[in-house]
Structure 1
Amino acid sequence: MPVVHVVGSGTALHYRESGDPDNPTIVFAHPLIWGGDSFGELLAGLTDEFHVVTVDIHGHGLSGYRETMTLEEMTEDFYHVLQSLHVPKVSWLGYSIGGMIGMRLAIAHPDVLDSLVLVATTARPDPSTIKAATFHLWKMFRDGHRKDIVDSAMKFFFADRTYREQPELIAKCRAKFVGITDAQGMFAAALAAFNRFDIGSQIRRIATPTLVIAGREDPAATPALADSIAAQIPKAKLEIVEGTSHLVGIEKPLEVTALVRGFLRTSTQVN
């Protein structure tokens, strides 16, 4: 598995590649907790037309982290990773914190992006009520109380319809959540997201063609917040997926794949 050691910080960031390197490149940046392997069905649906690079966010998978990080610093780290890929431009498919990084990349380094897909993400800080509740859960998660909070956390990630129609998926993801053995790095990345700056007034500078996707029942990256992002980015399109919550790409991978594929066919040079 390739690794990039970021100049300056020395942080090691790992990534995986699939698909034909001669095809347009998509870089997939996963959400907190749920690594790229959780989105296998979504990503597999894109490898026939795209070269897919799945990065491990700081503190996840095989990537290192720093105890204190900002989203801006993480963004610069991934800019370094993109430069190491030696491809002209990429499509950045950023999920939750991956979307926060993607928007910052599009603002600071528009030259490296061909297009931008933002899934279940927001440009603004969380409201204080949500931030307080989730921060308490994150501290319990870090301290090893994952069995105690898993059911509360799963209700955040998945819609009621998913519980009714995909019990096997719920059981699989529940076991994955409980089975995490070391959450220190994930917590460090979560702190960067919790302490993020408000870039809501800056995203209008994003000139990159952008697709914004939200789950109808997402309590954090709500459809209203997604609509706000799409309204401010000049070349943005909004899609709301019914019957899903924060993990829309796991709940309905085929539908999300179709949306991403259709968008990228018009914004990249796919043969």
Structure 2
Amino acid sequence: MKLHCERQGTGFPILCLHGHPGSAKTMAVFVEGLRDRYCTLTPDLRGYGRSQTRSPFELEDSLADLEELLDAQGIERCLVLGWSLGGILAIELALRRPERVAGLILIATAARPVGAHPPTSWVELVNTGLGSLLNVLAPANPVVRHSLGPRSLYRYLLRQHTEHAYRRLAQEGFWAYLGTSPLAHRALNRALARRYNRLPDLGAIAVPCLVLCGAEDLHITAQASLETAAYLPRAESHCYPNTAHLLPWEIPEQLLGDIHHWIDRQGLDLTAEL
């Protein structure tokens, strides 16, 4: 299907893929940090945001969508940056169409995703609902950041309950959650039920890769991310202390600085302008 996509900046293209739940808007932290030097493409994946469908689908269908998007945008080769589920799709795209991928930037993701999320209590669910609504009405207010948030499901997504992180949750995360369709939930659940594992195939990915993870991530553990880096032939990895699954919203400046430095060191031919 034709995906809704936001395009900003000029220079070598970087395809930015969001997670679940998510949307193009949740990748704004990367767009804002990269568009001055690169052309960023941020699609809403099938079943998310403004790329809705009424037909059931599998996650693998998103790969054909992404290839069609690159064709429509006139892009032959790009870097692919993926956060969480977006990182899994980035790996799949590199395996399926290696000639179109110049490198991978994988954030809070893994080729064999393993979680360590504890059971959810009713108190955490109530606090999450109340905290989310209050945070939308008054973004980053102290009651949510210091009281409801740390006692809600946000405690597993964040380790640093910063004002910046809660503003991102209010402006992007909340609406992305509402814009994630039941069909997208079902597609992800079916993929997880198949015990997704691409570790044996990672040796075929010859391009340079950057793997970034939060040391306290319980949704996709740091151990799973670092395991992926170990299987990739040309990977550099960074594990950030006191961060979790939403680390791009916890430490945006540090994360973006490391991404820029990594790209600069690769010696890739990123001079092409679109």
The offset of 1:96, in angstroms, is 0.5
The one-letter code sitting in structure 1 at the alignment partner of 2:215 is: R
Report if the CA contact (8 A) 2:22-2:180 is conserved: no
Question: What is the aligned-residue identity percentage?
Answer: 23
Cα deviation per residue 1:139-165 (whole Å; 9 max; x = unaligned)? Answer: xx9xxx972796643122111xx12xx
The answer to whether the aligner puts 1:19 opposite 2:9 as a matched pair is yes
Give distance in 2, aligned partners of 1:124 and 1:228. 8
Structure 1 residue runs of 5 or longer lacking an equivalent are 1-10
The offset of 1:181, in angstroms, is 4.2
The one-letter code sitting in structure 1 at the alignment partner of 2:220 is: A
The answer to whether the aligner puts 1:84 opposite 2:72 as a matched pair is yes
Give distance in 1, aligned partners of 2:27 and 2:180. 20
Give distance in 2, aligned partners of 1:50 and 1:192. 35
The offset of 1:251, in angstroms, is 1.2
Report if the CA contact (8 A) 2:217-2:245 is conserved: yes
Match of 1:194 among 192, 195, 201: 192
> What are the residue-to-residue correspondences of 1:215-230 with 2, within 5 Å?
215-230=214-229
> What are the residue-to-residue correspondences of 1:91-240 with 2, within 5 Å?
91-126=79-114, 147=129, 152-159=152-159, 162-163=160-161, 166-167=162-163, 169-170=165-166, 173=169, 180-185=177-182, 186-191=184-189, 193-195=191-193, 197-240=196-239
SS at 1:201's partner residue? helix
Of 110-119 and 28-37, deviating more is 28-37
Give distance in 2, aligned partners of 1:51 and 1:171. 25
The offset of 1:36, in angstroms, is 3.0
Distance 1:65 1:101, change over 3 A: farther
Distance 1:101 1:178, change over 3 A: closer
Distance 1:85 1:183, change over 3 A: closer
Report if the CA contact (8 A) 1:32-1:189 is conserved: no
SS at 1:70's partner residue? coil
Report if the CA contact (8 A) 1:147-1:178 is conserved: no
Distance 1:77 1:181, change over 3 A: closer
- Displaced runs of 4+ in structure 1, greater than 6 A? none
Cα deviation per residue 1:18-49 (whole Å; 9 max; x = unaligned)? Answer: 101xx110010011123332342332111111
Structure 2 residue runs of 5 or longer lacking an equivalent are 133-148
Report if the CA contact (8 A) 2:128-2:154 is conserved: no
Give distance in 1, aligned partners of 2:84 and 2:109. 4
SS at 1:198's partner residue? coil
Of 225-234 and 167-176, deviating more is 167-176
The offset of 1:175, in angstroms, is 7.5
Distance 1:188 1:198, change over 3 A: same
Distance 1:193 1:29, change over 3 A: farther
The one-letter code sitting in structure 1 at the alignment partner of 2:129 is: K
Give distance in 1, aligned partners of 2:204 and 2:43. 25
Aligned pair count reads 246
Give distance in 1, aligned partners of 2:28 and 2:15. 14
Distance 1:49 1:157, change over 3 A: same
CA RMSD of aligned residues (A): 3.0
Report if the CA contact (8 A) 2:87-2:107 is conserved: yes
SS at 2:21's partner residue? coil
SS at 1:225's partner residue? helix
The answer to whether the aligner puts 1:38 opposite 2:37 as a matched pair is no
Partner residue in 2 for 1:6? none
